[in-house]
């Protein structure tokens, strides 16, 4: 009996050891470039760009989506907005290098409150809050719960409303007691690394993914066991959360722009983005033809024009979207 048990446990122990080794390699490849700030019993990580003397925009806070970290939004917006605004690129609680905090941080509302505490600690009174994908649910919660800190809201391919179905099976497995621990500590890292290339290309589909995206944004950080478990916990709770909370979006009064692609097969724009436009009075929906789930990278110029409009400048965002479509069409033709 002992020999049989040992025969079963040896491969499992080897898999856990290998996964732990690869997780340490991932952290060495993508070390923390942010600063950890205690916000009341746990620490949140962020890259804070102080307000430059040349600033012509309000402070801007960026919230990444599921399976991501602060590098994703930093790579999209830091250089284009250099010298124009104070910026805060945040690792959501339990993601990147932020600590998880309490159970409330498994919900967008708790993460929105955590963001408000972080802004207070970093001396940011008000900001335009930018949320991509899952970050859109947090941006919406922030606008509802912290209107006094909200200069405006910019949603990028947001996940904010109920949808048919659920999330992928492996997120459910990761949340099951004991089985989830074994799954995340033995299998997630090698399987995730094997699928990283395909998975990141899928996020950009039908558009090309930047060749250096993986190297610059560290998506493999989500494969670390605790982070993957936190990500799974967020995702498996999201549907019930938005069913309960989306009716409150009508309370949002801050200037709001929603940018979405009509070819997004990850977060369906007719449910989420159109739902936000319906629920938030005075908001503007900008729909970009041919763009998938990453308008932050494919139409960064439109997002910046939206920030300018939220800040009070006259900007024709629909014209900006058409210009972006023409540019993307030319790029596609040149690459064919």
Of 167, 111, 117, whose CA–CA distance to 140 is shortest?
111
User: Which stretches of the chain are DSSP H helices?
Assistant: 2-29, 70-77, 108-121, 134-145, 169-174, 179-186, 188-204, 213-217, 225-245, 273-279, 295-298, 300-310, 317-335
Element of type H or E holding 88 = strand 87-90
Helix (H) or strand (E) holding 224: none
d(CA 177, CA 188): 16
Q: What integer pLDDT is reported at residue 12 of this predicted model?
A: 86
Longest CA–CA separation in the chain, Å: 76
Compute CA 266 distance to the chain's CA centroid, rounded to the nearest angstrom: 13
pLDDT at position 332, please? 80
DSSP run (H or E) holding 52: none
Q: Is the pTM of this model over 0.85?
A: yes
What is d(CA 126, CA 173) in angstroms, rounded to the nearest whole number? 39
Structure tokens belonging to residue 214: 């993986």
Which of 273, 281, 255 lies closest to 126, judged by CA?
Answer: 255
CB 101 within 8 A of CB 130: no
Q: What is the pLDDT, as a whole number, of residue 5?
A: 46
Provide Rg for the chain, Cα atoms.
20
- Reduced to 3 states, what is the DSSP secondary structure of residue 260? strand
Domain residues for 148? Answer: 2-335
How many domains is the chain partitioned into structurally? 1
Decide: helix, strand or coil at residue 245. Answer: helix
pLDDT of residue 336: 54
> Cα dihedral angle (290, 291, 292, 295), rounded to 10 degrees?
-170
Block residue for tokens 């804070």: 48
pLDDT at 11: 80
Please report the pLDDT score of residue 7 as a whole number.
61
Q: What is the CATH number of the domain that holds 114?
A: 3.40.50.1820
Q: Which of 66, 46, 101 lies closest to 234 in space, CA to CA?
A: 66
What pLDDT sits at residue 334? 77
Q: What is the pLDDT along the chain (336 residues), one digit of tens a residue?
A: 444 545 667 788 999 999 999 999 999 999 999 999 999 999 999 999 999 999 999 999 999 999 999 999 999 999 999 999 999 999 999 999 999 999 999 999 999 999 999 999 999 999 999 999 999 999 999 999 999 999 999 999 999 999 998 999 999 999 999 999 999 999 999 999 999 999 999 999 999 999 999 999 999 999 999 999 999 999 999 999 999 999 999 999 999 999 999 999 999 999 999 999 999 999 999 999 999 999 999 999 999 999 999 999 999 999 999 999 999 999 887 765
């Amino acid at each position: 009996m002992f020999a049989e048990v040992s025969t079963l446990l040896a491969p499992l122990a080897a898999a856990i050891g290998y996964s732990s080794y690869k997780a340490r390699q991932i952290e060495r490849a993508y070390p923390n470039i942010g600063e950890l700030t205690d916000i009341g019993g746990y620490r949140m990580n962020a890259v804070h760009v102080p307000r430059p003397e040349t600033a012509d925009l309000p402070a801007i806070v960026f919230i990444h989506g599921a399976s991501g970290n602060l590098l994703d939004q930093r790579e999209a917006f830091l250089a284009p907005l250099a010298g124009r605004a104070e910026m805060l690129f945040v690792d959501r609680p339990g993601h990147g290098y932020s600590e998880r905090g309490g159970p409330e941080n498994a919900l967008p509302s708790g993460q929105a409150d955590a963001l408000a505490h972080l802004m207070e600690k970093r001396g940011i009174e008000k900001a335009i809050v930018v949320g991509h994908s899952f970050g859109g649910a947090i941006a919406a919660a922030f606008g509802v719960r912290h209107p006094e800190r909200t200069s405006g809201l910019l949603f990028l391919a947001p996940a904010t409303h109920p949808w048919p179905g659920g999330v992928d099976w492996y997120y459910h497995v990761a949340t099951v007691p004991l089985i989830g621990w074994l799954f995340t500590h033995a299998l997630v890292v090698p399987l995730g690394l094997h699928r990283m290339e395909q998975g990141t290309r899928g996020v950009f589909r039908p558009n090309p993914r930047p060749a250096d995206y993986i190297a610059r944004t560290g998506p493999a950080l989500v494969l670390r066991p605790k982070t993957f478990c936190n990500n799974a916990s967020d995702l498996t709770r999201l549907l019930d959360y938005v069913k309960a909370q989306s009716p409150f979006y009508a309370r949002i009064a801050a200037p709001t722009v929603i940018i979405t692609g009509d070819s997004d097969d990850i977060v369906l724009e007719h449910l989420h983005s159109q739902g936000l436009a319906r629920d938030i009075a005075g908001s503007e929906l900008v729909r970009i033809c041919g763009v998938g789930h990453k308008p932050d990278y494919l139409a960064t110029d439109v997002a910046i024009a939206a920030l300018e409009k939220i800040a009070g400048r006259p900007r024709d965002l629909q014209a900006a979207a058409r210009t972006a479509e023409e540019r993307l069409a030319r790029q596609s033709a040149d690459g064919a």
